[in-house]
Structure 1
Amino acid sequence: MIGLIFDMDGVIVDNNDFHYKAWQQLAARHDIQIDEDFYREKMNGRTLNELMDVVFQGKIPHSEALAIGLEKEKIYRELYAKHLAPTPGLLELIATASEKEVPLVVGTSAPSENVVFTLDGLDLRKHFTGVVDDSMVTKGKPEPEVYLKCAAMINRDPQHCIVFEDAISGITAGQRAGAKVIALATSHKREELDADLIIDDFTQLRWEQIEMLIDS
């Protein structure tokens, strides 16, 4: 039986630019340097706990760094609120999965506030069996913990699951979990991604491709 596991940022919503803009605003407020290469290579896909260690490198207390990180997430939600929308083709994929009684679950490095903002803001939570967010894992991506917990949540062997990811660290996490990975080129260029299938958005995906990946 197939199970579908969705990362949230860059997959359920194409919001990478708004996260980057929020980091830029935060950097200006706190006199830190975060350029695009650093963001994409070192930050994308990590939990907030891990992110703030990367950004501040232990130069300030972790509790203070985490508070600054939560400030960034608030900036992000304010920036993206007027633009919140599902990635093209997502709703059609969800409808097909529902017809075929294939369970869906979300595995994200985002904090719970962003999960509420996204899934409830788009009225999507009802389609998913559950969510594994950053508070539910001890090791973030590229470690496989989040996706192993997602597979267990829907009672599926990871080998029978498809992980949808946009971040390089998330693709690695899905692969380490033993799942097939379909990468969305929303946060990285296609040539930077190493996955079983690469798409720009869900309009380029046919259900037959999902079945072929599981059977391969």
Structure 2
Amino acid sequence: MTNIELIIFDMDGLMFDSERIAFSAWQEVLNKHGYEITLDFYLNLIGSNEERIKELCSKEYGSDFPFDELKQERYQVVDRIINNKGLPLKTGLKELLDYLQDKPLKKAVATSTNRERALKLLNLHKLVPYFDYIFCGDEITKSKPHPEIFLKVCEKLNCEPTKTIVLEDSIAGIIASFNANMIPIMIPDMIEPNEAVKDKIYKCFNNLLEVKKYLTENFFQA
């Protein structure tokens, strides 16, 4: 394989064990207001930015669904859960980031979460300095699975898409990185690879420690 110029990290479900927290928060808020959310519907939201989630919720619950109001309530519930229980890092994240510190490539975050929320979560674990660039869901016009967010990162960092690895846990993210002509690596969280993406995944690993091992053996041998 070609030399790698850039590794792009998704955030929720890839760096943080946050998708389950988000689902619990949605359940609490929607139940309070007389709505129900199924796990299957929530899984369809993973990887989407707020505008796309709002669109999907309008289709599911009706055009009068008060998304903006309930979104703010959900943030409050998420913050309460994190304040009480913390925000767990995914297995191997710090080890992988520390390992990549002195490697001749760039690192970026590409998350569907808005910038204010993303920076708040990243700063909880002092992760911002690890990255050359952070690109967020409120800075794009088209949500994953459209490749815009990944292509924007490459453009900003002057890197070739074909020399870019994308680490993702979501189906939408894998499709987006594949459509961007990048190298999609999936580390499943709440969603296992399905037929729509099995032929688009370059590699699939259980955790980021396995990613570190793969990079060591294939790109950065001593």
CA contact (8 A) 2:91 2:209 kept: yes
CA distance in 2, matches of 1:141, 1:4: 17
**What is aligned with 1:103?**
106
**Offset of residue 132 of structure 1:** 0.9
- In the alignment, structure 2 segments of 5+ residues that lack a partner are none
Distance 1:45 1:210, change over 3 A: farther
**What is aligned with 1:65?**
67
- Output one character per residue of 1:35-72: Cα deviation in whole Å (capped at 9) or x when no partner: 001111x21111112112211225127xx422322322
**What is aligned with 1:43?**
45
Q: Map residues 131-150 of structure 1 onto 2, 5 A cutoff.
A: 131-150=134-153
- State the SS of the aligned residue for 1:99: coil
CA distance in 1, matches of 2:53, 2:8: 23
The structure richer in helix per residue is: 1
TM-score by length of 2: 0.86
Indicate whether 1:120 and 2:120 are aligned. Answer: no
- State the SS of the aligned residue for 1:142: coil
CA distance in 1, matches of 2:52, 2:194: 26
Q: Map residues 153-168 of structure 1 onto 2, 5 A cutoff.
A: 153-168=156-171
Q: Map residues 190-209 of structure 1 onto 2, 5 A cutoff.
A: 190=193, 194=198, 195-205=201-211, 206=213, 207-208=215-216
- State the SS of the aligned residue for 2:101: helix
- Output one character per residue of 1:51-107: Cα deviation in whole Å (capped at 9) or x when no partner: 12211225127xx42232232223223223433132111112112221113211100
CA distance in 2, matches of 1:28, 1:88: 32
Percent sequence identity is 25
CA contact (8 A) 1:49 1:66 kept: no
CA distance in 2, matches of 1:9, 1:134: 12
CA distance in 2, matches of 1:159, 1:46: 23
CA contact (8 A) 2:16 2:88 kept: yes
- Residue type at the aligned position of 1:13: F
Aligned residues: 209
> Over aligned residues, Cα RMSD in angstroms?
2.0
